[in-house]
Structure 1
Amino acid sequence: MRVVTISAAYGTAGSQIGPAVAERLGVPFVDRAIPNAVAEELGCTLEEALAHDDRAERGLGRLLSGAMRLPTVTFGGVDMYVPGVMPLAPEEFVRRTERMLRDTARNQGGVFLGRAGALVLADHPGALHVRLDAPVKRRIRQTATLGGLSEREARRIIEENDGARTAYVRHFYKADPTDPSLYHLVLDSTAIPVPTCVELIVTAAEAVD
C-alpha cells in the first residue's frame, strides 16, 4: 500500500495535487477526514477541532500568538475550555490525529495532506514525503487569480495560513516545515504545471522501496 505525505504551502495547489495523486495510486486521499474523525471521537464539533488544525486560518497560529483569547487557553499540558463540550487539550487533538494517521497508513495506505505527515510517518516503510512550495509572490499571484481576489487579500490569506501551519509544526514537533531535509521531493507547483507535479509524485512513489 502506497503512502505519500504532502506538505503544501498555501497557494501551491495541494488540494488539487493530493487527490489526483491518490487516484493514480489507488489509495485514499486523507485531508479533512482526519480532523472530522478526531472531532467525533472527542465529542466536539468540527469547527472546534479545526481550531487546533495545522491549516486553520484563524486557528493554532493565533492561539499560539495569543491573539485569540479563550477561557483557560494555554499550551503545556493545561486543558483548553471549549463551551458546551468536554475539555480539549491541543496536545490531545494532536495525539489522536497522529494515531489516525499511523493507523490509516498501516491499514489502507493513502495520500496525506498536511498534519505534519512527513514527521508523523517519517519511519513508515516505503513512504514518500513531498513538499510543495514556491516564492510568496508567485503564490500570491496564483491565489489571487484562482480565487478572484485582490493581491492584497491573497497576501493576507497566505500569511495567516502560513503562520498557522508553521506554528503547528514548530510547537508540536520542534521542526521547520520548510526544511527540505524532511522530504524526498520538493516541487514548485507554481512553476511546474499541476499535471506534471502529479506525474512526478506518482513516479517517485512507485519507485520508493
Structure 2
Amino acid sequence: MRVVTISATYGTAGSVIGPAVAEMLGVPFVDRAIPGAVAKELGCTLDEVLAHDDRAEHGLGRLLAGAMRLPTVTFGGVDTYLPGAMPTPPEEFVAHTERVIQTTARTRGGVILGRAGAQVLAAFPGALHVRLDAPLERRVRQTAAFFGIDEREARHIVEDNDRARTAYVRHFYRADPADPTMYHLVLDSTRIPVPTCVEIIVTAAEAIG
C-alpha cells in the first residue's frame, strides 16, 4: 500500500495534485472523507467537525490564526486563547482526525492532503511526505487567475489560508509546516507543471513504498 502526505500552501494546486497522485497510485484520496469519519466516531454533526478542521473554510485554523495576532499569545507551549467557548475540546477532534488518518494509512493506503499528515504519520514506514510551496507573489497570481479575481483579493485569500494552516500545525504539533526537513520532497508547483509534479511524487512513492 502506498501512503503519501501532502502539505500545500494555498495556490499550489494541492487539491488538483493530490487526487491525480492517488489515481495513479491506485489508492484513495483522503481529504473530504476525513471530517465525515470523525463525525461518525464522535457521534456529532459534520458541521461540528468542520469547525475544527484545518482545511475547512471556517475551521479551527482560522481561530488559531486570529489568536496568533493577540499580544498575550505565544505558540511555544503556552496556553492559546480561542475566541468563544467550544463544547468539545479541540484536542479531541484532532485526536480522532489522527486516528482516522492512521487507520486509513494502515488498512488502505492513500494520499492525505493537509491536517498535519507529515507529523501524524512521521513514523509510518514507507510513507512519502511532500510539501508544495512557492513564493507568495506567484501563488497570488495563480489564485487570481484561477478564480478570475484581482490580485489584491487573491493575496487576502492566500495569506488568510496560509495563516490558518500554519497555526493548526504550530498549535497542535509544535512544528513549522514550512520546515523542509519534515519532507522527502519539496516542489514548487507554480514553476514545475502540475502533471510533472504528479509524476515526480508518484515515482518517489513507488521507490520508497
Structure 1 length-normalised TM: 0.88
CA distance in 2, matches of 1:89, 1:191: 41
Q: How does 1:14-25 map to 2 (within 5 A)?
A: 14-25=14-25
CA distance in 1, matches of 2:58, 2:153: 15
What's 1:128 paired with?
128
Asked if 2 retains the 8 angstrom alpha-carbon contact of 1:17 and 1:197, the reply is yes
Q: How does 1:50-199 map to 2 (within 5 A)?
A: 50-64=50-64, 65-66=66-67, 81=85, 87-199=87-199
Segments of 5+ residues of structure 1 without an aligned counterpart are 68-74
Q: Give the letter for the 1:40 counterpart.
A: K
Asked if 1 retains the 8 angstrom alpha-carbon contact of 2:2 and 2:109, the reply is yes
CA distance in 2, matches of 1:58, 1:151: 22
CA distance in 2, matches of 1:47, 1:146: 27
CA distance in 2, matches of 1:66, 1:175: 17
Q: C-alpha displacement at 1:66, in angstroms? A: 4.1
CA distance in 2, matches of 1:177, 1:110: 20
Q: Give the letter for the 1:36 counterpart.
A: G
Q: C-alpha displacement at 1:134, in angstroms? A: 0.3
User: Considering only aligned residues, what root-mean-square deviation do their CA atoms show, in Å?
Assistant: 1.8
Q: Percent identity, aligned pairs only? A: 74
Q: C-alpha displacement at 1:44, in angstroms? A: 2.9
Asked if 2 retains the 8 angstrom alpha-carbon contact of 1:27 and 1:111, the reply is yes
What's 2:9 paired with?
9
Segments of 5+ residues of structure 2 without an aligned counterpart are 69-78
CA distance in 2, matches of 1:62, 1:147: 21
CA distance in 2, matches of 1:130, 1:57: 23
